[in-house]
A = this chain, B = another copy of it.
Amino acid sequence: MAKIKSNKTNTRKDVIISKAARLFREKGYSATSMRDLAEHVGVEAASLYNHIKSKAEILQEICFKTANQFMNHITELELSDRSSINKVESILRFHISQMVNHYEEVYVMDREWKHLTDPYLSNMQSQRRSYRQRIAAIIEEGIRKGEIKDIDAPTAVLIMLHAVSGIESWHRSVKRIGSEMLEDNMVMILVEGLKK
């Protein structure tokens, strides 16, 4: 009778989802079984269903909660009056800090969203498309204003986003160099590459 410990801020459901995020990252959504998850939570598989509706629901919560963070950030950014190149830098820094502070969830959203099923799958697909387009719009604005090289904006977006999402291999690097220095290196390379 091992009870899931729940402190004030984290409900039992939160504990399950957080452990799931870890496993989904390590082994992938499909390769992670509910028995697996249950064992890491310290409980029998059946007991998980007192707290969550299904395995799919766990993935949904991870993906959409994380996606919202990025959407909120870019919405706020669009309303600001920074320069375009400055906005790009802010996006980069936000991505890196999210990756450093919410590694598992961001990683899972990024690599496992394909396993969502259909109302959610389409929703996520269109959110991703929209997010990329909004960044592209910022870059195109920067090109028009002469702040940014005359490059293909969607290509620039892809480089930015994928460069950042590779922090998987970091966590070691982050220990080697600090996380702020990592941020500065990335910003230097990418922002300088974009600047005119």
Contacts and interface: CB of A to CB of B under 8 A. Distances in A.
Given A114-B28, A189-B149, A189-B151, A166 B177 contact: no
Given A31-B30, A163-B163, A190 B193 contact: yes
A182 B185 CA distance: 24
Interface in A7-59: 27-28, 30-31
A91 interface: no
Contacts of A188: 149, 151, 193
Contacts of A159: 163, 166, 186, 189-190
A111 interface: yes
A172 to B, nearest CB: 9
Interface in A129-164: 132, 149, 151-152, 154-156, 158-159, 161-164
A156 B163 CA distance: 9
A116 interface: no
Interface of A: 27-28, 30-31, 111, 114-115, 132, 149, 151-152, 154-156, 158-159, 161-167, 169-170, 173, 176-177, 181-182, 185-186, 188-194
